[in-house]
């Protein structure tokens, strides 16, 4: 929530580690020379994006704290803009994540209409350079990563769109890349002013490509 969206993934991880230490919850540690808390965030959230559906696996010692206790204690010990909504047993593997859904509010410098958005999504090919893990860049067609889009709201100066994008370990695109390209098409809308919010994450169900939401 709020300004916490500017916290990087690694900083968020450390923020959780310290919240857990403050809470005194019985977290498990990894083995080895430099033990650390057993904790994995399912899908890193890009800097500048808010979310209501982040999943993190944290391993606690069996039977020492209930789900409700964990939720309460974490919330007491996290900064105000980061909240735990729900706790439960691990039900999906992070590797099963395939899509994510975003709500984006575009803000115009004056009145805006929606035609340019339709035109943009009608494109077959928009190529951008994507950084690879090997620190090189390769061209990708971002349109191939867009699974669905819809205009869901409109006011005089804002347009709200819903966007479903490929996400996860195999194919991933950051929403700000798509919004950046979209806003290049309209000089009255700045990508920096857009509010991007992740609202759903979808998993592969039992190996097939059906969409299962992590959070209802």
- Residues in contact with another protein by CB under 8 A are 2-4, 6-8, 11-12, 15, 17-22, 29, 35, 47-48, 77-81, 190-193
Nearer to another protein, 29 or 215 (CB): 29
Instruction: Fill in the DSSP letter of residue 156.
Output: S
Rounded CA-CA distance 150/142 in Å is 17
* Residue 45 Cβ vs another protein, minimum distance, rounded to whole Å: 13
Nearer to another protein, 44 or 96 (CB): 44
Sign of CA dihedral 50, 198, 155, 147: positive
* Residue 88 Cβ vs another protein, minimum distance, rounded to whole Å: 24
* Residue 141 Cβ vs another protein, minimum distance, rounded to whole Å: 25
Rounded CA-CA distance 58/23 in Å is 14
Q: Which helix (H) or strand (E) holds 18?
A: helix 9-23
Nearer to another protein, 48 or 154 (CB): 48
* Residue 3 Cβ vs another protein, minimum distance, rounded to whole Å: 4
Nearer to another protein, 137 or 192 (CB): 192
* Residue 85 Cβ vs another protein, minimum distance, rounded to whole Å: 19
Question: 136 CB contacts (<8 Å, ≥6 apart)?
Answer: none
Dihedrals φ, ψ of 3, to 5°?
-75, -10
Nearer to another protein, 119 or 193 (CB): 193
Rounded CA-CA distance 30/59 in Å is 10
């Amino acid at each position: 929530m709020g300004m916490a969206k500017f916290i990087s993934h690694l900083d968020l991880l450390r923020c959780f580690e310290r919240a857990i230490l403050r809470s005194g919850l019985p977290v498990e540690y990894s083995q080895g020379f430099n033990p650390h808390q057993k904790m994995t965030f399912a899908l890193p959230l890009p800097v500048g994006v808010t979310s209501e559906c982040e999943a993190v696996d944290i391993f606690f010692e069996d039977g020492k704290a209930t789900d409700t206790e964990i939720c309460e204690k974490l919330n007491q010990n996290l900064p105000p803009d980061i909240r735990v909504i729900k706790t439960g047993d691990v039900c999906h593997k992070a590797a099963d994540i395939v899509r994510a859904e975003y709500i984006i509010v575009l803000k115009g410098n004056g009145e805006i209409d929606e035609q340019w958005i339709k035109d943009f999504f009608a494109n077959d090919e928009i190529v951008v350079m994507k950084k690879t893990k090997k620190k090189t860049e390769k061209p990708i067609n971002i349109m191939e990563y867009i699974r669905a889009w819809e205009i869901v709201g409109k006011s005089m100066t804002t347009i709200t769109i819903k966007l479903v994008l490929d996400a996860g370990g195999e194919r991933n695109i950051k929403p700000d890349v798509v919004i950046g390209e979209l806003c290049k098409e309209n000089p009255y809308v700045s990508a920096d002013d857009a509010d991007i919010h992740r609202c759903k994450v979808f998993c592969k169900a039992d190996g097939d490509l059906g969409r299962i939401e992590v959070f209802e």
